[in-house]
């Protein structure tokens, strides 16, 4: 039931004081011709309606969100409290720099910490999300070669297991995207060697990759990329597996984008805004977006890099997310961030070991923070697809993993437990998944018609995408 359907004429949930503002007549063109179509409800109606909706909603505060590649982990409430401090909450982006020194200091120190973590020389905090960071990185690549008069660099190489945003971001900037084949779940170095030529501008990699495997030939890949004059780009979606262990800059990457809303806390996706800072090595610093923050004596100031690609976001990025990430890093400290990675890897390997008893793991062995299972055998033998398994998992009160990604694995389930889940939660999740797979063999129709217990059953996702309904109409 919607709030409009609870409406009863004459009910109110508020009582406004008499206005103390002198009467002022607006021009007729600004006046409504009809009253707004708002629901008429009492205060208990409003409270109960939205409390009921909250109970129906699944969130990371209620349970595990094992979305592979998305890192939907529990976020400390301390970070939310810090972002809500009056000094951060009440500032305005048009204020003079001298009146927001504390916020500029936070931004400066945050980018310095992120540079230390990634092995980069400087960073922009402007991009609003990971994909936006990729776009920013590709713009920097384009401008770098343009400044050198090297206009023949038209290609960007992307592995067949890459995040879908990688080829999309490169294509949006005007590059031709060329796919690199995988071998045993990792970049096929020989195929990469064949593709590298004077037309390649960049190679985009995620390490660990989307199969949860660490690219063991990364130093060789970096050497080959640089020998042909191209740049090496790091998709930082999986940085949470290696913090404190190895830096992308030490692997040979020239550009890095991070997902503050994943690796450094803050709910993302439908849970809140994102932030995708981009870090670069020295030879690319002058191409960063403006404005940048620097320290001048005891003061912090904004400046425009010499060969900047321009603005990529209004003002200074999603500032509250920056505050949360800053708080998270200071709270965890160096040892804490390293521990985060250790626990993320431990949890993933523990859960994989339990799940491999009843689902195939196409690329088995030691994984990093995530792994990919396959229900292809289940589908062949029962007709039950991965989507059916995912929908049935919902009936047990937990969230399913990412499905059908990466594309090189048939009937894929991409699982990332994150570092914040305990052993009991992982055991319960494995038990639920095992029970669902068993049901596929015993009563496949139960899965094919799932979910059964959720407020909304299966929706027509294509119709919802093509013809979305954004408002209620009586």
Both 143 and 220 in one domain: the answer is yes
CATH number reported for the structural domain that contains residue 245 in this entry: 3.40.640.10
Q: Are 451 and 392 a contacting pair, CB within 8 Å?
A: yes
What is the spatial distance between Cα 370 and Cα 351, in angstroms, rounded to a whole number?
9
* Structural domain includes residue 4: no
Least confident segment among 122-136, 255-269, 406-420? 255-269
* Structural domain includes residue 36: no
* Structural domain includes residue 105: yes
Domain of 281 in residue numbering reads as 78-332
Tell me what the mean pLDDT of segment 346-359 comes to: 97
Both 301 and 380 in one domain: the answer is no
Is residue 364 scored above 70 in pLDDT? Answer: yes
Task: Say whether 102 sits in a helix, a strand or coil.
Answer: helix
Domain count for the chain, please give it: 2
**Model confidence pLDDT, tens digit, residues 394-447:** 999 999 999 999 999 999 999 999 999 999 999 999 999 999 999 999 999 999
The reported pTM is 0.90
Both 391 and 433 in one domain: the answer is yes
What is the model's pLDDT at position 272? 65
Task: Say whether 212 sits in a helix, a strand or coil.
Answer: coil
| Other CB atoms within 10 Å distance of the CB of residue 344 | 27
Last residue of a domain, one of 279, 304, 332: 332
Q: Are 4 and 39 a contacting pair, CB within 8 Å?
A: yes
Both 135 and 231 in one domain: the answer is yes
Last residue of a domain, one of 299, 332, 365: 332
Is residue 202 scored above 80 in pLDDT? Answer: yes
- What's the pLDDT band for 472 if we cut at 50, 70, 90? confident
Residue among 202, 208, 248, 250 at smallest CA distance from 226 = 202
Question: What end-to-end distance do the CA atoms of the chain give, in Å?
Answer: 12
What is the model's pLDDT at position 273? 81
* Structural domain includes residue 94: yes
Both 301 and 158 in one domain: the answer is yes
Both 257 and 144 in one domain: the answer is yes
* Structural domain includes residue 269: yes
Q: Are 418 and 73 a contacting pair, CB within 8 Å?
A: yes
* Structural domain includes residue 24: no
* Structural domain includes residue 169: yes
**Model confidence pLDDT, tens digit, residues 288-339:** 999 999 999 999 999 999 999 999 998 888 999 999 999 999 999 999 999 9
Last residue of a domain, one of 288, 303, 332: 332
Q: Are 207 and 219 a contacting pair, CB within 8 Å?
A: no
Least confident segment among 143-157, 381-395, 419-433, 459-473? 459-473
Both 309 and 197 in one domain: the answer is yes
What is the spatial distance between Cα 82 and Cα 85, in angstroms, rounded to a whole number?
5
Tell whether the torsion through CA atoms of 432, 434, 437 and 441 is positive or negative.
negative
Both 325 and 351 in one domain: the answer is no
CATH number reported for the structural domain that contains residue 346 in this entry: 3.90.1150.10
- Six-digit token pair at 414? 């991409």
Both 241 and 322 in one domain: the answer is yes
DSSP states along 372-419: EEE-HHHHHHH---HHHHHHHHHTTTS---EES-STTSTTEEEE---T
Both 283 and 376 in one domain: the answer is no
Residue among 256, 199, 194, 250 at smallest CA distance from 224 = 194
Both 205 and 320 in one domain: the answer is yes
Residue among 248, 324, 243 at smallest CA distance from 281 = 248
Both 277 and 404 in one domain: the answer is no
* Structural domain includes residue 466: no
The residue behind tokens 């805004």 is 273
Task: Say whether 447 sits in a helix, a strand or coil.
Answer: helix
């Amino acid at each position: 039931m919607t709030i409009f359907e609870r409406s009863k004429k004459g009910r109110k949930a508020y009582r406004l004081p008499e206005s103390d503002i002198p009467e002022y007549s607006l021009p007729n063109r600004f006046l409504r011709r009809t009253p707004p179509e708002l629901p008429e409800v009492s205060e208990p109606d409003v409270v109960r309606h939205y409390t009921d909706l909250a109970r129906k909603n699944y969130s990371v505060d209620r349970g595990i969100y094992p979305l592979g590649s998305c890192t939907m982990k529990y976020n400390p409430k301390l970070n939310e409290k810090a972002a809500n401090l009056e000094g951060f909450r009440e500032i305005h982006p048009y204020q003079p720099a001298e009146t927001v020194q504390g916020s500029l200091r936070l931004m400066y120190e945050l980018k310095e910490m992120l540079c230390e973590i990634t092995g980069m020389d400087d960073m922009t905090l402007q991009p609003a999300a990971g994909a936006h960071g990729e776009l920013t990185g590709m713009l920097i690549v384009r401008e770098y070669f343009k400044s050198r008069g090297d206009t023949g660099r038209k290609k960007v190489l992307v592995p067949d297991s890459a995040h879908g945003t990688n080829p999309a971001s490169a294509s949006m900037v005007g590059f031709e995207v060329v796919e690199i084949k995988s071998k045993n779940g990792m970049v096929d170095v020989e195929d990469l060697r064949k593709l590298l030529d004077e037309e390649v501008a960049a190679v985009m990699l995620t390490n660990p990759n989307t199969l949860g495997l660490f690219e063991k030939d990364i130093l060789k890949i970096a050497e080959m990329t640089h020998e042909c004059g191209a740049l090496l780009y790091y998709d930082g979606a999986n940085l949470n597996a290696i913090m404190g262990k190895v830096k992308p800059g030490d692997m040979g990457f020239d550009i890095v984008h991070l997902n503050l809303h994943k690796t450094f806390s803050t709910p993302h996706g439908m849970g809140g805004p994102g932030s995708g800072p981009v870090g670069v090595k020295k030879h690319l610093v002058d191409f960063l977006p403006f404005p940048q923050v620097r320290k001048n004596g005891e003061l912090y100031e904004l400046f425009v890099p010499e060969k900047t690609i321009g603005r990529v976001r209004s003002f200074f990025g999603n500032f509250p997310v920056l505050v949360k990430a800053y708080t998270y890093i200071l709270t965890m400290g160096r040892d804490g961030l390293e521990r985060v990675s250790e626990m993320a890897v431990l949890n993933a390997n523990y859960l994989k070991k339990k799940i491999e008893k009843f689902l195939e793991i196409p690329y088995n062995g030691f994984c990093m923070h995530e792994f990919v299972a396959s229900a292809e055998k289940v589908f062949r033998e029962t007709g039950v697809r991965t989507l059916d398994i995912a929908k049935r998992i919902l009936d047990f009160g937990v969230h399913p993993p990412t499905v059908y990604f990466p594309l090189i694995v048939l009937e894929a389930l991409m699982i990332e437990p994150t570092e914040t889940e305990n052993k009991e939660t992982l055991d319960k999740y494995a038990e639920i998944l095992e029970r669902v797979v068993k049901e596929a063999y015993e009563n496949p129709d139960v899965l094919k018609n799932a979910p059964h217990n959720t407020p909304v059953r299966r929706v027509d996702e294509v119709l919802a995408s093509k013809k979305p309904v954004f408002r209620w109409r009586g």
